[in-house]
């Protein structure tokens, strides 16, 4: 059961997440204990019951969960991202620079992207990188980050919608992505901007990806991630990006639209593959992974291995072999190239 400690001080609302023993602190000067006691709707809050999860639709239905009643354009764009043949997706997240500048592995975007694009089902990036560093002849679908206005030097949640839908149409994107900062200081600002984006997305027929749980102090447990993901879906998100956690089926099972797993910080390859494997077997439709691909010592090996896990249920250990084989062969090819070059001199 979720217990709300009362009375609450005037300067902040504390939502006690009982099971996780974690606090999400929401600064809110206008919400005092007196006001909160009148909020009858929070009194009967009980934990969601355990649910069984399935990312596959019933036979004959549209292949993407929760999207059967969308318009043709929405379905077509979503199908470019989440593939109809497997119902899964490997999105490559390379949007990190929008708030943290040149990120390790993303220093020169053309160099990072060129070898990876053939293996990505979709790229998630900013319009600056799309225009400057992705060949327009490329057929890879784009999920464009349309939020920003923050930086690693300040409060991360101080973010807003910053790309027009007109520009998204001009860029022929398949989806638009925005972060929502549930439980952070600028929660309301990001949720309000998100609502406006959802309206604009439906007007244009462009699906919206909600990015949840980004932030320095976010408690990334099932209760918080289920809260943020479900809120995003309730507000109209067509798919949701969130982190893997213990009891992940609670997150995927209570979200009516597909979930893609964010990779998080770089971890050893086998661990990242295991996390992706668990995520898709526990209800995610795929990954939207960045650092665990482009910061690997073999980015191509890693994305190939992730594809095997996500699309073909390869076990992490055998997927690791795909990564190792690719690393070995590219090492040999690099050596050959070096020899050829030095002979030419």
Measuring CA to CA, which residue among 128, 209, 203, 200 is closest to residue 171?
128
**CB burial class (10 A; 0-12, 13-18, 19+) of residue 183?**
buried
Minimal distance, residue 296 CB to ligand R5P, in Å: 11
- Cis geometry, peptide bond prior to residue 7 (ω within 30 degrees of 0): yes
- Give, as ranges, the residues between 209 and 228 that touch ligand R5P (CB under 6 A): 211, 214
- Give, as ranges, the residues between 163 and 202 that touch ligand R5P (CB under 6 A): 179
Q: Which stretch binds ligand R5P (CB under 6 A): 15-23, 32-40, 219-227, 258-266?
A: 258-266
Give the whole-angstrom CA distance, residue 263 versus residue 297.
16
Contact residue for ligand R5P among 32, 87, 215, 264 (CB under 6 A):
264
Minimal distance, residue 214 CB to ligand R5P, in Å: 4
Contact residue for ligand R5P among 201, 253, 290, 301 (CB under 6 A):
290
Residue 289 interacts with ligand R5P (CB under 6 A)?
yes
Contact residue for ligand R5P among 17, 93, 140, 198 (CB under 6 A):
93
Minimal distance, residue 112 CB to ligand R5P, in Å: 13
Rounded CA Rg of the chain: 21
Q: How many CA atoms lie within 13 Å of 131's alpha carbon, on the beta-carbon side?
A: 7
Q: Which stretch binds ligand R5P (CB under 6 A): 161-169, 248-256, 286-294, 329-337?
A: 286-294
Minimal distance, residue 125 CB to ligand R5P, in Å: 9
Tell me the three state secondary structure of residue 202.
helix
Which string of x and - marks every residue 126-165 that binds ligand R5P (by CB under 6 A)?
----------------------------------------
Residue whose CB is less far from ligand R5P, 175 or 290? 290
Contact residue for ligand R5P among 75, 96, 186, 220 (CB under 6 A):
96
Q: Are 177 and 146 in contact (CB under 8 A)?
A: yes
Tell me the three state secondary structure of residue 7.
coil
Count of helix runs (H) and strand runs (E) in the chain: 13, 12
Task: Exactly one of 83, 241, 304, 327 is catalytic; name it.
Answer: 241
- Say how many residues touch ligand R5P, by CB under 6 A: 15
Minimal distance, residue 186 CB to ligand R5P, in Å: 14
Alpha-carbon dihedral 178, 305, 318, 52, rounded to 10 degrees: 20
Minimal distance, residue 78 CB to ligand R5P, in Å: 19
DSSP class of residue 118 equals G
Q: What residues are paired with 178 via a beta bridge?
A: 210
Residues 6+ apart with CB under 8 A from 38: none
Phi, psi of 145 (to 5 degrees): -70, 125
Q: Which stretch binds ligand R5P (CB under 6 A): 115-123, 223-231, 245-253, 284-292?
A: 284-292
Tell me the three state secondary structure of residue 93.
strand
Residue 291 interacts with ligand R5P (CB under 6 A)?
yes
241 among known catalytic residues: yes
Where along the sequence are the contacts to ligand R5P (CB under 6 A)?
Answer: 93, 95-96, 124, 179, 211, 214, 262-264, 288-292
Catalytic annotation, residues: 241
């Amino acid at each position: 059961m979720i217990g709300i400690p009362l009375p609450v001080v005037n300067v902040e609302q504390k939502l006690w997440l009982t099971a996780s023993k974690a606090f999400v602190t929401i600064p809110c000067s206008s919400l005092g204990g007196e006001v909160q006691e009148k909020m009858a709707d929070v009194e009967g809050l009980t934990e969601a019951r355990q649910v069984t999860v399935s990312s596959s639709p019933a036979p004959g239905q549209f292949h993407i969960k929760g999207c059967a009643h969308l318009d043709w354009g929405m379905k077509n764009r979503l199908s470019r991202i989440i593939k109809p043949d497997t119902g899964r997706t490997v999105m490559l997240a390379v949007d990190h620079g929008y708030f943290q500048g040149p990120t390790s592995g993303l220093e020169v975007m053309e160099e990072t992207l060129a070898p990876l694009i053939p293996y990505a089902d979709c790229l998630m990036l900013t319009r600056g990188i799309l225009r400057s560093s992705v060949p327009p002849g490329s057929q890879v679908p784009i999920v464009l980050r349309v939020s920003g206005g923050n930086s690693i030097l300040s409060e991360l949640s101080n973010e807003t919608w910053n790309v027009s839908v007109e520009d998204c149409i001009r860029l022929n994107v398949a989806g638009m992505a925005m972060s929502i900062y549930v439980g952070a200081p600028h929660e309301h600002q990001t949720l309000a901007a998100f609502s406006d984006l959802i309206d604009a997305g439906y007007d244009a027929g462009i699906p919206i990806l909600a990015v949840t749980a980004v932030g320095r102090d976010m408690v990334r447990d099932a209760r918080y991630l289920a809260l943020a993901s479900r809120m995003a879906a309730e507000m109209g998100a067509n798919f949701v990006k969130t982190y893997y956690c213990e009891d992940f089926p609670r997150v995927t099972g209570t979200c009516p639209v597909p979930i893609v797993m964010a990779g998080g910080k770089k971890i050893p390859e086998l661990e990242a593959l295991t996390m992706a494997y668990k995520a898709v077997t526990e209800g995610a439709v795929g990954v939207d992974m960045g650092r665990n691909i482009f910061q690997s010592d073999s980015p191509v090996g890693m994305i190939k291995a992730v594809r095997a896990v996500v699309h073909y249920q390869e076990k992490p250990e055998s997927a690791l072999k795909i990564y190792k084989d690719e690393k070995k062969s590219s090492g040999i090819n690099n050596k050959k190239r070096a020899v050829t070059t030095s002979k030419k001199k």
